[in-house]
């Protein structure tokens, strides 16, 4: 008996069609759960971004060294990223904005809410803040950039930081992404339903066809017993009883006539 089993495309379609109800229920349940989580559980978050330029002002006599200075400023951005998220800067931001609605709640929370990024070979880097309130997100970004500009002059003895653009409150949340979450819920529910359908099919050891007994188990088929419909049997028995009663009645009438 060959232990290896192959499954054809038609068998796959048959399994999916057989367990279509299970797949549908699973898909609907997961989709509804994703809908509920997205619209009722997850807290919307807003982003605001301020941009900072690193560019040292040079005198007319130092113009020849401008290219080298630009490259030095670009390299300094990596250091500035560490400074801007240091306790020296964030402690001051925490004290100033602690009473704002939707505030992260602590200095560590501010650090987690901040994202520092810049393009390759660019002298501009961005400070993005995320909070549950759009106004608070903008205030965190602006205050962080402001404090950083003040602190870096004292720490580095270099005045090469300028705020290019301030952050503004945005009323459109960046998360949760409702459409994406619902799509993920739909796909996840569908896949889960398909997996459950195949698991149920694999674990179902019920004998369904004669071929399974002869081909898979190597047994000899002695015959096939068809399934009996109990409703049809009861109906047939009812007719038989009715016929007996009718025949008996006729017999009684016949005897009565003879005696008369």
Per-residue pLDDT tens digits for 135-154: 999 999 999 999 999 998 88
Q: What are the phi and psi torsion angles at 148 (to 5°)?
A: -60, -45
pLDDT tens digits along 3-16: 445 567 888 888 88
pTM, to two decimals? 0.65
pLDDT score for 79: 86
What tokens were used for 60? 């007319």
What residues contact 87, with CB distance under 8 A and at least 6 apart? 107
What is the per-residue pLDDT for 75? 80
- CA 184, CA 34: separation in Å to the nearest integer? 8
**134-156 helix and 87-97 helix, angle to the nearest 10 degrees:** 140
Q: What stretches of 134-207 show up as alpha helix (H) in DSSP?
A: 134-156, 178-203
| C-alpha–C-alpha distance, residues 152 and 88, integer Å | 10
Report residues of the chain scoring pLDDT below 50. 1-4, 244-260
Residue 187 CB-density burial (10 A; 0-12 exposed, 13-18 middle, 19+ buried)? middle
pLDDT at residue 41 in the model:
92
Cα(first)–Cα(last) distance of the chain, in Å?
79
pLDDT at position 245: 47
Cα→Cα distances 115→61, 89, 126, 173, Å: 38, 15, 8, 16
Q: Nearest CA to 198 among 31, 3, 10, 14?
A: 14
């Amino acid at each position: 008996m060959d232990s290896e089993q192959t499954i054809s495309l038609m068998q796959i379609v048959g399994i999916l069609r057989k367990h279509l109800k299970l797949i549908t229920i699973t898909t609907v349940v997961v989709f509804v759960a994703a809908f509920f989580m997205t619209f009722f559980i997850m807290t919307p978050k807003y982003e605001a971004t301020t941009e900072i330029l690193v560019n040292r002002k040079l005198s007319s006599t130092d113009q020849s060294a401008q290219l080298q200075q630009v490259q030095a400023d670009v390299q300094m951005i990596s250091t500035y990223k560490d400074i801007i998220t240091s306790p020296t800067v964030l402690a001051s931001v925490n004290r100033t904005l602690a009473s704002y609605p939707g505030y992260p709640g602590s200095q560590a929370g501010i650090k987690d809410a901040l994202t520092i990024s810049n393009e390759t070979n660019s002298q501009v880097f961005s400070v993005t803040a995320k909070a549950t309130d759009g106004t608070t997100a903008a205030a965190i970004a602006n205050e962080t950039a402001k404090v950083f500009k003040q602190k870096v002059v004292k720490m580095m003895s270099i005045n090469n930081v300028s705020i290019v653009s301030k952050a503004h409150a945005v009323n459109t949340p960046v998360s949760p992404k409702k459409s994406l979450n619902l799509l993920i819920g739909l796909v996840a529910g569908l896949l889960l339903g398909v997996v459950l359908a195949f698991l149920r099919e694999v674990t179902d050891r019920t004998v369904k066809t004669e071929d399974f007994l002869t081909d898979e188990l190597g047994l000899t088929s002695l015959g096939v017993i068809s399934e009996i419909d109990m409703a049809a049997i009861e109906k047939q028995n009812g007719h038989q009883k009715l016929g007996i009663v009718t025949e008996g009645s006729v017999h009684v009438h016949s005897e009565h006539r003879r005696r008369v």
